[in-house]
């Protein structure tokens, strides 16, 4: 368990996207905004917690994610390249984990650097020759550092204070610089199905999508429109918004069993997801959305 029961009740707190009162749904640690459809949780990140990391099958996680992430990383870089030439541009990848996006960006001529709080990941990426600095964004940067692109690849939803992170992006990006954010979507079919199942007390998929019990759980689930609203109030203009793939059959077994050994229920979940993959991966049902935003030039 990694939610803090001492934190204030979520009921009635303002939605960070639209300021409407949010309401607890499904579990006492998660709440939905009836107005914009975004969600928030009381889950608490515990980066670098050895106790929480012990059961994680790293090799399984790599096998389950890398093929999908490589495909999405290429598409994200294509979208960025449609806005600015990549060659020689500086990029900070926040929460760079294994360093896959840093590596892909460097291959395409960018001066790419990762920022990663989890030391195990930092050491792993550095062992592969990647440029990754330890720490949290923006504390890991000096006050005068500037960059052309900042990316959050499945990261922003893990950050408790999204507004502070976006303010730091506006400060760090050069005028006209690009912010690239992809997140799991509260509008996605898988999230809506998991929420429906949780309402009838089958909570396994819901807990898994929130990464409940993992060192870096989800704090937020935004709809694409709500995330765009949050980003644009920090001095950005969203220039591109599109779905990304969130599931594929290759590596699915490892993804389902990232944190546990196979059980009857996990095998059933795997079979259901395997059968449903062609539907879940359709753009209109996408569970991951990419937003690309340009920092506005102020006079």
CA distances from 65 to 39, 99, 147, 218 (A): 24, 13, 28, 17
Secondary structure (DSSP) of 3-21: B-TTSPP-TTPBPTTT-PB
Q: pTM value?
A: 0.86
Q: Give the span between the Cα atoms of 10 and 20, in whole angstroms.
A: 12
The number of beta carbons lying within 10 Å of the beta carbon of residue 284 is: 9
At residue 195, does pLDDT exceed 70? yes
At residue 63, does pLDDT exceed 70? no
| Under 8 Å between Cβ of 152 and 180 | yes
Q: Give the span between the Cα atoms of 213 and 216, in whole angstroms.
A: 8
The number of beta carbons lying within 10 Å of the beta carbon of residue 115 is: 23
E strand or H helix at 225: helix 224-232
| Under 8 Å between Cβ of 16 and 27 | no
Phi, psi of 127 (to 5 degrees): -65, -20
- What the chain holds in terms of domains, given with CATH numbers, is 49-183+236-295 (3.40.50.150)
In terms of C-beta distances under 8 Å and separation of at least 24 residues, what long-range contacts does 108-116 make, across chains too?
Answer: 108/77, 108/81, 110/86, 110/149, 115/140, 115/141
Q: What is the mean pLDDT of the chain?
A: 86
Considering the chain, what percentage of its residues have pLDDT values greater than 90?
64
| Under 8 Å between Cβ of 198 and 26 | yes
Residue 83: per-residue pLDDT: 97
Q: Give the span between the Cα atoms of 237 and 229, in whole angstroms.
A: 10
- 55-69, 114-128, 146-160: which range is least confident on average? 55-69
At residue 57, does pLDDT exceed 90? no
Q: Give the span between the Cα atoms of 73 and 66, in whole angstroms.
A: 10
For residues 57-77, give the mean pLDDT: 75
CA distances from 95 to 32, 101, 192, 283 (A): 26, 10, 26, 26
For residues 147-168, give the mean pLDDT: 97
For residues 84-92, give the mean pLDDT: 97
β-bridge partners, 236: 295
Rg of the chain, C-alpha, whole Å: 19
């Amino acid at each position: 368990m990694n939610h803090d029961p001492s934190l204030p009740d979520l009921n009635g707190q303002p939605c960070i996207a639209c300021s409407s009162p949010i309401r607890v749904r499904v579990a006492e640690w998660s709440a939905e905004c009836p107005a914009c459809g975004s969600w928030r949780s009381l889950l608490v990140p515990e980066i670098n917690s050895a106790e929480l990391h012990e059961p994680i099958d790293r090799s399984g996680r790599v096998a389950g994610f890398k093929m999908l992430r490589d495909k999405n990383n290429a598409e994200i870089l294509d979208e960025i390249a449609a806005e600015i030439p990549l060659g020689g541009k500086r990029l900070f990848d926040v929460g760079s984990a294994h360093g896959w996006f840093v590596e892909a960006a460097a291959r395409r001529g960018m001066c790419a650097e990762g920022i990663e709080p989890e030391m195990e990941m930092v050491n792993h990426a550095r062992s592969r020759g990647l440029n990754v600095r330890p720490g949290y964004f923006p504390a890991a940067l000096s006050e005068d550092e500037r960059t052309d692109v900042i990316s959050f690849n499945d990261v922003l939803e893990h950050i408790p204070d999204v507004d502070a992170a976006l303010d730091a992006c506006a400060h760090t990006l050069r005028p006209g610089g690009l912010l690239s954010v992809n997140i799991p979507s509260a509008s996605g079919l898988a999230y809506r199905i998991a929420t429906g199942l949780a309402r009838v007390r089958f909570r396994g998929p819901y807990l898994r999508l929130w990464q409940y019990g993992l060192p870096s759980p989800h704090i937020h689930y935004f709809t694409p429109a709500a995330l765009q609203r949050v980003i644009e109030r920090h001095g950005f203009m969203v220039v591109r918004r599109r779905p990304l793939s969130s599931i594929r059959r290759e590596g699915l077994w490892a993804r389902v069993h990232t944190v546990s050994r196979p059980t009857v229920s996990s095998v059933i979940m795997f079979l259901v997801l395997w059968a449903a993959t062609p539907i879940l991966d359709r753009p209109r049902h996408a569970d991951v959305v990419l937003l690309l935003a340009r920092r506005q030039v102020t006079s």
